[in-house]
């Protein structure tokens, strides 16, 4: 019970410390929230693009566009002979044009059909996609092969660059926040020097004296994370989810996004990182400025 | 109860205390006197482990203060009350809250806090001023709150460093008489002071420090001997 009473009083003292800091709290929380939001944004971007890449990697379908001179059924037969190919769907250029006009509500202006004859090839396993693509490329009359991973190799490069840049900026902001938290706690320690001295001289335990300041720092981390999570959540709902839906409708692929659990993990990570950085900053400050 | 054996304390090349050996008994009230820089405050700081001796040993009861680890220092300080010249009262807390502050921080139950604080304030004659803030109290009353805070845990040892340095002679005498009453209840009271008149009036054991050494240890103050040391500030006494 004594420990519980001391713990409660530690929280009360921490509350007093936070109240004392006044407007400084907003500055610290604001800067920390920006750093965490940036980190969260980078993690969010990284997670989404990785999921897209993983979906691409596991695709078992690709499309082959044929030259006008090629006979679609003959090429389809040739491809079907491969045991790893489950099914080949032939979409003639006329059928494709009809579908296209219907989908986008176009009126035929007599300029002709620009679409090629197309084969949609379904594989039994994604393992042999590259082998079959290599084979298809050797067949005559092939105009182009559309395979998702190739489309997204550029996206992967963008992800890598943005991830590195984001982490770099986050680390710099993290150091900045570490210093600002430390300075704020230092000011509170100086303002409460008399209380600290009285507590030391009456034999109060070390952790009771330092505890409120460390809790003060952890509070900064927690609130900053909550502030950072709100815009990240809105961004996920309004931008990424719409982007993913658009991608699903545009590509002939089956996407399996799990943004909910990924987002929850990112939020938990941000909260823990925020609390850890601010808590450590406060801890080192008390070690430096409070002599027990 | 308190034993110092061959205690020295160096601050760089300066010897604040030089081979000091002293014994203080339980319930004894001792006046520690000496000119500025004689080592009075250093001696007290060594007792409450604000400083560590450069050599020698200090024990309080069965606690070896000189070899005590830092983590055990709070345990030592809970067994003593410390009083300062500048009172060290928290200005935003009432007399009651100032005395209760440490007890609460140490995890005492609220009913116990109220009982003990009321008892301590009653002993120093300030129960009726319990809800006054320090700025509403006179210097003497503030020091009595400081004394109440020091005794509220019922420590066997009380250390006072120039407790009347900021007070007028009449109030100073009241504070010393209060410390004497506390001593009569079984608490060892060690007081550093510059006030020769009070030292003589109190008629207690006097330890004279000079240049970091024990220059005299008198069971009772001897006016002629004390005057010969020229220890006291004439403006205060």
Question: What pLDDT does A166 receive?
Answer: 80
Q: Which whole number is the average pLDDT over B123-146? A: 93
| B161 Cβ contact partners less than 8 Å away, ≥ 6 residues apart | B40, B41, B44, B82, B83, B84, B85, B192
Residues of A whose CB is below 8 A from B101: 195, 198-199
Contact at CB, B70 and A202, closer than 8 angstroms: no
Tell me the percentage of chain A whose pLDDT exceeds 90: 22
DSSP A239: I
- Report the C-alpha gap between B28 and B38 in whole angstroms: 22
Closest partner residue to A9 (CB to CB) among B73, B90, B105 is: B105
- Asked if the C-beta of A198 comes within 8 angstroms of chain B's C-beta atoms, the answer is yes
| pLDDT at res. B35 | 86
Whether residue A85 contacts residue A121, with contact meaning beta carbons closer than 8 Å, is answered with yes
Contact A200 B105 (CB under 8 A): no
Chain A: residue nearest B93 by CA? A195
- Per-residue pLDDT tens for A61-117? 788 999 988 899 999 999 999 888 888 999 998 888 888 888 777 776 777 788 899
Tell me which of A192, A196, A201 to substitute to probe the interface with B (most B C-beta atoms closer than 10 Å).
A201
pLDDT tens, position by position, B2-54: 999 999 999 998 999 999 999 999 999 999 998 888 899 999 999 999 999 99
Task: Judge whether A76 and A88 are in contact, CB under 8 Å.
Answer: yes
CA distance A235 to chain B (A): 46
pLDDT (0 to 100) of residue A221: 93
* CA dihedral sign of residues A272, A273, A279, A284: positive
B70: nearest CB among A9, A202, A292: A292
Q: What is the mean pLDDT of residues A155-178?
A: 81
Res A150: pLDDT: 59
Which residue in A6, A194, A202 is closest to B102 by CB distance? A202
pLDDT, position A152: 56
Average pLDDT across chain B, whole number: 89
- Measure the N-to-C terminal CA separation of chain A; round to a whole number of Å: 25
Task: Check CB contact under 8 Å for A5 and B109.
Answer: yes
**What is the model's pLDDT at position A84?**
86
**Contact between A198 and B88 using a beta-carbon 8 Å cutoff:** yes
Which DSSP category does A251 fall into? Answer: S
Q: Would you state the pLDDT for residue A149?
A: 60
Report the residue of chain A nearest B81, measured CA to CA: A202
Q: Using CB atoms, which residue from A1, A5, A205 is nearest to B74?
A: A205
- Please list every residue in chain B whose beta carbon sits closer than 8 Å to the beta carbon of residue A199: 101-102, 105
Return the C-alpha torsion angle A20, A24, A28, A33, nearest 10: 100
The pLDDT of B54-80, averaged and rounded, is 92
E strand or H helix at A38, and its extent? helix A23-57
Q: Mean per-residue pLDDT for A257-273?
A: 83
CB environment A42-51: b (16+ within 10 A), e (fewer): bbbbbbbbeb
* Band of residue B132 on the pLDDT scale cut at 50, 70, 90: very high
Q: Greater confidence, A39 or B30?
A: B30
By the 8 A CB rule, do B158 and B83 touch? yes
Question: Quick one: which of B106, B92, B209 has its CA closest to A207?
Answer: B106
Instruction: Say yes or no: A3 contacts chain B, CB-CB below 8 A.
Output: yes
Q: Quick check: helix, strand or coil at residue A182?
A: helix
For residue B234, is pLDDT > 50?
no
Report ipTM (2 d.p.): 0.86
**Chain B partners of A192 at a C-beta cutoff of 8 Å?**
none
Least confident of A4-13, A114-123, A141-150: A141-150
**DSSP E strand stretches across A191-254:** none
Interval A209-238: pLDDT, tens: 999 999 999 999 999 999 999 998 888 888
Count of beta carbons in the 10 Å neighbourhood of residue B173: 17
């Amino acid at each position: 019970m004594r420990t519980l009473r001391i713990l409660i009083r530690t929280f009360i003292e921490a509350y007093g410390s936070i109240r004392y800091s006044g407007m400084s709290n907003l500055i610290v929380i604001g800067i920390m929230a920006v750093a965490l939001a940036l980190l969260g944004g980078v993690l969010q971007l990284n997670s989404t693009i990785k999921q897209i890449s993983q979906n691409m990697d596991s695709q078992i379908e690709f499309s082959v566009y044929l030259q006008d001179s090629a006979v679609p059924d003959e090429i389809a037969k040739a491809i079907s002979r491969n045991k790893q190919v489950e099914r080949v769907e032939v979409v003639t250029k006329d059928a494709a044009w009809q579908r296209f006009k219907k989908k986008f509500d176009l009126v035929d202006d007599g300029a002709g059909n620009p679409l090629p004859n197309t084969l949609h090839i379904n594989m039994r396993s994604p393992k042999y996609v590259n082998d079959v693509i290599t084979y298809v490329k050797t067949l005559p009359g092939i105009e182009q092969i559309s395979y998702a991973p190739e489309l997204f190799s550029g996206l992967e490069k963008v992800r890598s660059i943005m991830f590195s840049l984001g982490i770099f900026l986050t680390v710099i902001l993290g150091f900045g926040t570490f210093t600002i938290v430390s300075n704020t706690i230092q000011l509170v320690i100086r303002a409460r020097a008399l209380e600290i001295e009285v507590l030391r001289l009456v034999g109060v335990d070390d952790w009771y004296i330092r505890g409120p300041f460390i809790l003060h720092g952890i509070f900064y981390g927690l609130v900053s994370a909550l502030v950072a999570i709100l815009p990240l959540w809105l961004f996920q709902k309004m931008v990424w989810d719409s982007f993913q839906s658009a991608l699903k409708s545009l590509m002939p692929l089956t996407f399996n996004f799990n943004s909910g659990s990924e987002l929850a993990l990112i939020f938990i990570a941000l909260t823990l990182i925020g609390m850890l950085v601010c808590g450590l900053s406060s801890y080192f400050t008390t070690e430096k400025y409070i002599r027990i | 109860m308190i034993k110092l054996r061959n205690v020295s304390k160096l601050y760089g090349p300066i010897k604040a205390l030089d081979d000091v050996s002293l014994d203080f008994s339980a319930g004894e009230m001792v006046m520690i006197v000496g000119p500025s820089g004689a080592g009075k405050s250093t001696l007290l700081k060594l007792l409450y482990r604000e400083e560590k001796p450069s050599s020698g040993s200090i024990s309080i009861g069965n606690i070896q203060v000189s070899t005590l680890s830092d983590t055990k220092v709070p345990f030592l300080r809970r067994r003593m009350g410390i009083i300062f010249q500048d009172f060290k009262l928290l200005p935003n807390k009432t007399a009651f809250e100032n005395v209760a502050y440490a007890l609460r921080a140490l995890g005492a139950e609220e009913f116990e806090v109220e009982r003990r604080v009321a008892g301590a304030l009653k002993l120093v004659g300030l129960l009726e001023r319990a809800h006054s803030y320090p700025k509403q109290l006179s210097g003497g009353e503030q020091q009595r709150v400081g004394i109440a805070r020091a005794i509220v845990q019922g420590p066997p040892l009380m250390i006072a460093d120039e407790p009347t340095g900021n007070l007028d002679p009449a109030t100073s005498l009241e504070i010393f008489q209060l410390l004497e009453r506390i001593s009569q209840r079984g608490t060892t009271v060690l007081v550093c002071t510059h006030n020769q008149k009070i030292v003589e009036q109190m008629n207690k054991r006097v330890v004279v420090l000079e240049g970091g050494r024990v220059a005299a240890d008198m069971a009772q103050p001897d006016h002629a001997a004390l005057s010969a040391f020229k220890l006291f500030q004439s403006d205060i006494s």
